[in-house]
Chains A and B, each alone.
Chain A
Amino acid sequence: MVVELFLDLLSQPCRALFIFAKKNNIPFVFKHVELLKGHHHSEEFGKVNVLKKVPALKDGAFTLAESIAILLYLSRKFNTPDHWYPSDLQKRAQVDEYLSWQHATIREKGCKIFITKVLVPLAGQPFSPETLEEAVEELNSALKQFEEKFLQDKPFIVGNEISLADLVAIVELMQPVGCGCDIFENRPKLAEWRSRVEEAVGKELFQQAHELILNVKNLSTTQLPPELREHVKQFLKT
């Protein structure tokens, strides 16, 4: 039985998985879960992931949530090239370190920008420039740490080759870009790193994965169903 990946490419972690699976020729069935249509609340999807979030994996009877867990599972099951999650103890630790750190920093702040600039208006709520400014400031702070601690003067986060760390980082950073906040502008080192990552992934695959988010402005005409508007409102309270 083929692995099923439950994805919405609007979501950063879903893109990481999509790219990783495609790049490594891992056979999978793309199960489209459209977040803006509330598909993740369906009973059927609840059986795959009771937390009702994407991405999710189904491998026979085995189900799994959390993109990092899924990336690591796929890398092990399909024996992907070493550079993605190096067997060298220290390099591996550096990947783990980034994957852990990014949750509450790059990921959280990138999400905040997406929510403030795109989701809030979609939910029919007033847009708050102060919240956006705050989110951008926080992301700037995280980007500074990213460049100083994780990237430094290396081509990739863990040395000479792309790893899961770079993949997880790049998809998160494309979220603000899709919202019109070009975080690579005025950051030449970061922009160069982005080019290297795009090339290592393959430009075509990278574009394909990011088509939705880079056209997110077209979503402004999508009406969210009322239940989802409610869900977004709840989400926005936290």
Chain B
Amino acid sequence: MGLELYLDLLSQHCRTVYIFAKKNNIPFEFKRVELFKDSILGRKMPGGNNPGHSREGQHCREEFGKVNILKKVPALKDGVFTLAESTAILLYLSRKYNTPDHWYPSDIQKRARVDEYLSWHHTNIRTNAPKTLWIKVLIPLFTGQKLPPEKLQEVMDELAISLKQFEEKFLQDKPFIVGSEISLADLVAIVELMQPIGVGCDIFEDRPKLSEWRNRVEEAVGKELFQEAHEIILNIKELSNLQIDPQLKEHLAPVLRKMMK
């Protein structure tokens, strides 16, 4: 049994893993997860007695449930070994497949810089950037209600602070976060920042340094692969035709109501 990666490219964390694996020619089986159809986010994992779910969908859900009880994507299955959390997956793949040094440099200070970014990212860019998708697309999709523009402005203001720190502390005047070559830090950052782009919040506009960094990252990854990974998020309008699992709607309602406050 080969490496299996459970991914939904709508998720930025999945895109990082996807791009990294593809770029490094790591052989894997793409196990497609559709977050909103497969009730993966729901607490109740659909079992055998749920009417209206196809046998195939059900099988995938059970299989998936065994792989990752945190019920989030991305997830990895390598033989009997399962792993969640994109950072952990990226590092595991980089070690197992001996990827080029620049992704996670062996120099301990450069490596520390990647670790530093990956850690900071969690509580900054990762908490802000995705909210744009929720506010502009997902919450209206789930609840049928549009959010007031102030809500989006609030998020954009928070994101602006994170972006300022990103430019001042992490990027500075270097071509990439850890010097002259792309690393896991740049990859993790870029996919997160594409989330607001997908919903029409162009955070690169009026930020020339950031924009140039984006171009460099795209080129280092390969434009074709980058586009491929981002096709879903960049065509987010297709989502409005999405059929959402009613159990998921029910499960997410309290979460969404909190976000709308």
Contacts and interface: CB of A to CB of B under 8 A. Distances in A.
**What is the interface of chain B mostly: helix, strand, loop, or mixed?**
helix
B115 interface: yes
Contacts of B95: 89, 92
A101 B70 CA distance: 10
Nearest to B70: A149
Interface residues of A, number: 31
A97 B112 contact: no
A89 B122 CA distance: 23
Per DSSP, chain A at the interface is: helix
Contacts of B92: 89-90, 92-93, 96
Contact of B88 (A72, A100, A148): A100
B103 to A, nearest CB: 15
Interface in B113-140: 113, 115-116, 118-120, 122-123, 126-127
A62 B111 CA distance: 13
Interface residues on B, range: 20 to 34
A101 to B, nearest CB: 5
Interface stretch (B27-35, B55-63, B79-87): B79-87
Interface of A: 50-51, 62, 64-70, 72-73, 76-77, 89-90, 92-94, 96-97, 99-101, 103-104, 108, 145, 148-149, 238
Given A51-B165, A97-B88, A100-B88, 20 more contacts: A50-B168, A62-B109, A64-B116, A66-B120, A68-B115, A69-B116, A72-B112, A72-B115, A73-B112, A77-B108, A90-B81, A92-B92, A92-B95, A93-B88, A97-B85, A100-B87, A103-B123, A145-B70, A148-B69, A238-B158
